Amino acid sequence: MHPLFADRAAAGAIPVWPVAKADCESWLAQQPARVGQWAKTSKFDGGEGQVVKFPDAEGGVAAIGFGLGDNDNPLVWRALPSAVPEEECYRIDTPLAPERATLAALGWLLGSYSFTRYKSAGEAGDTKPKPRLVVPEGVDAADIGRIAEGVYLARDLINIPACDLGPEELAQAAHRLAERYGADFREIVGEALLEKNYPMIYAVGKGSVRPPRLIDFTWGDPDAPKLTLVGKGIVFDSGGLDLKPSSAMLLMKKDMGGAANVLGLAQMIMDAALPVRLRVLVPAAENAISGGAFRPGDVLKSRKGISVEIGNTDAEGRLVLADALADADGEAPDLLIDLATLTGAARVALGAEIPPFFTDDMTLAEDLSRHAEDVADPLWRLPLWKPYARGLDSKVAALSNVTDGGMAGAITAALFLQKFVTGTKSWVHCDIYGWNATAGAGRPVGGEGQAIRALYSLICARYSPR
């Protein structure tokens, strides 16, 4: 059981009273006069994330009132752990529907996360106990714990600055994960990428003093259905010779957010011992500037044999993904998933909190949309609109890595990747942000797990139905 959970037999747990805004008035009318008066004095009206501590006779906390707002945010429980006394144990006093109870427990764990790597023990609060929650009735505590730990891993990796997380350190993190679950790990580094036919990964990373690499590990029964995850691992993106402005470069430590989320998802899958043959591919590189950096106008060979003209060196993520996807596609897995912090156009279209996904598999699209809604991990399907692919035409090569007009950038990036997936029937590309741009209750600014809870739910249902 996760250390922030408590057994249902735990004694002395403080009750938490969840109250929706629309029900607050009737709820107050049913309470003893002292409770109602304290709530009114505290201006408690059931607003989302609102917390009021009801005192006992000794001045301690007798109960917690917790606002659910309009009851349309099942992860509102993320707000609670940071708003209650740390040393206590809590229990939800009102029965919740099973799906709501599950998301309440998950929200508790997600809201308990903090990134403290660069703070001293006192600053980080490492010595303080964190509040615990009694596992609600009907909740699979083990599964919720593994989901939260997968999100923690993704957040941690994204939050580490590029000075401490280069391609080698990202590979080390993947290696530790592979060793933990007995997976077979390998990596191809530097000029060996050319020898093994990953020329675009090499080209993107050769301008950096930190050699690029392909991280590759496999786990599970070789005869089980093949599931392959590919994550963009650009540890820092300067834009290359098409240099980004400083404002656009500030968050580029998170450009390996696809890789971080893929590793978090892989951890969930392996920890759950799902009956799949899992393969994880992470093309890791730093898009840096030097005399050896690739240039606008260069024509690159790809693993697939497709020649690519470089229209912009800041569209490098699709290049490293293309080589990794071509490798994955060679096995024609049952399901191929890639995650990438790929385009600003996706953010313009849907904002930071709703990643778009792309697939031509209608069944997969419907299933993923349903699971995303069920687990409150929002995703929205955008089309692989084939006529836009003409914008990728090049006069000197088979493809350009960018279009001239700049419109529909998320779609044309997805169409570029699709050129390298020809043997796999079920492929989905998720263009994630991987970052909380603004702080919210239980959602600190920083790295975020996106799409992986929805994907994990889909994978469980598809390969290990309960």
166 and 100 inside one domain: no
At position 139, the amino acid (one-letter code) is: V
109 and 221 inside one domain: no
Residue 118 belongs to a domain with what CATH number? Answer: 3.40.220.10
Verify whether residue 318 is a known catalytic residue.
Answer: yes
pLDDT tens digit at each of 466 positions of the chain: 899 999 987 888 999 999 999 999 999 999 999 999 999 999 999 999 999 999 988 888 999 999 999 989 999 999 999 999 988 999 999 899 999 999 999 999 999 999 999 987 666 655 678 999 999 999 999 999 999 999 999 999 999 999 999 999 999 999 999 999 999 999 999 999 999 999 999 999 999 999 999 999 999 999 999 999 999 999 999 999 999 999 999 999 999 999 999 999 999 999 999 999 999 999 999 999 999 999 999 999 999 999 999 999 999 999 999 999 999 999 999 999 999 999 999 999 999 999 999 999 999 999 999 999 999 999 999 999 999 999 999 999 999 999 998 899 999 999 999 999 999 999 999 999 999 999 887 889 999 999 999 999 999 999 987 6
Are the beta carbons of 49 and 69 closer than 8 angstroms?
A: yes
- Return phi, psi of residue 304, to 5°: -75, -10
Among 196, 244, 301, 381, which one carries the catalytic annotation?
244
245 and 329 inside one domain: yes
194 and 117 inside one domain: no
Residue 174 belongs to a domain with what CATH number? Answer: 3.40.630.10
What pLDDT was estimated at residue 423? 97
28 and 66 inside one domain: yes
What pTM was computed for the model?
Answer: 0.97
How far apart are alpha carbons 91 and 23 in whole angstroms? 20
How far apart are alpha carbons 216 and 186 in whole angstroms? 5
How far apart are alpha carbons 226 and 269 in whole angstroms? 13
Strands (E), 302-444: 307-309, 335-340, 356-358, 380-381, 399-400, 427-431, 435-436
What pLDDT was estimated at residue 441? 76
What pLDDT was estimated at residue 122? 62
Domain boundary among 82, 106, 139: 139
Q: Which of helix, strand or coil describes residue 137?
A: coil
Domain boundary among 118, 139, 160: 139
Verify whether residue 186 is a known catalytic residue.
Answer: no
368 and 396 inside one domain: yes
Domain boundary among 103, 120, 139: 139
The helix (run of H) or strand (run of E) holding residue 314 is none
Are the beta carbons of 208 and 258 closer than 8 angstroms?
A: no
117 and 167 inside one domain: no
What pLDDT was estimated at residue 407? 95
217 and 308 inside one domain: yes
How far apart are alpha carbons 84 and 130 in whole angstroms? 10
What pLDDT was estimated at residue 125? 55
275 and 344 inside one domain: yes
What's the number of domains the chain is made of? 2
125 and 207 inside one domain: no
Using the 8-state DSSP alphabet, how is residue 252 labeled?
A: G
Among 253, 254, 318, 453, which one carries the catalytic annotation?
318
Q: Which two tokens stand for residue 437?
A: 């741009």
Residue 223 is part of which domain span? 144-463
In order, the DSSP letters of 167-206 are: HHHHHHHHHHHHHHTT-EEEEEETTHHHHTT-HHHHHHHT
40 and 129 inside one domain: yes
Q: What is the 3-state secondary structure (H, E, C) of 73-102?
A: CCCHHHHCHHHCCCCCEEEECCCCCHHHHH
251 and 381 inside one domain: yes
What pLDDT was estimated at residue 120? 77
What pLDDT was estimated at residue 123? 64
